[in-house]
Amino acid sequence: MSEIFLDIETTGLSYKDNHKIVEVACIETNDLTPTKRIFHKILNPERNVPEEAFKIHGFSTEFLKDKPKFSEIADELLNFIQDNDLIIHNASFDIPFINHELKLIKKNTITQNKIIDTLELARGKYPGTSNSLDALCRRFNIDLSRRIKHNAVLDCDLLREVYIYLLDAKEPKLSFNSEIEKKTNQSKIIEYSKKVVKPSEEELKNHNLFLKTKLKKNYF
């Protein structure tokens, strides 16, 4: 089964205030390695975009007027997601928005998928600190230079990197730029790799000495 990294941009903070989705993106991975399958749609929210939201994602009311409505892309989105695991940063924001839009057009909501919320994972590992996507990228030294404004496709890709660090999993090394660059108008190749540092003989000697003395004294 694949994993789907998902992100949305909206006109505001709550669908209860009649705010709508203006962008939705998904990146498919297999064992956290990108398959290069991407779902990305910019949407007409059928309402004005407040200035505060425009400053975040850069989508104006005028720009979105000729874009498809959520109802026109809903089936394609659901077909892309299927029953795969969903990995989302702050899922309690994204999922209610998507499910509200689905309910409005009488479609089945997202209820069966396993949802992994990286915000909750980060809060568990780093309590009492900022765990926004930006903050986590800075914590893990992930390049944020491409993130001038919020962009759902780019955010999915950054989230994939963050998630690997949260799991402390080994990062697959590859060049994954063609599809992402098409969506973000970037030309920089993204290289994914973690550096493995082997201990020196002296470090191993000191470590073994520590085990023989400190641990034996304290625990055995």
Residue bearing tokens 């941009």: 9
Q: Which long-range contacts (CB under 8 A, 24 or more apart) does 71-75 make?
A: 71/104, 71/105, 73/24, 73/41, 73/43, 74/101, 74/102, 74/105, 74/107, 75/107
Question: 162: which strand partners?
Answer: none
What radius of gyration do the chain's Cα atoms show? 21
How far apart CA 94 and CA 109 sit, in angstroms, is 12
Catalytic residue among 19, 100, 150, 207: 150
89 tagged catalytic: no
| Residues with active-site annotation | 150
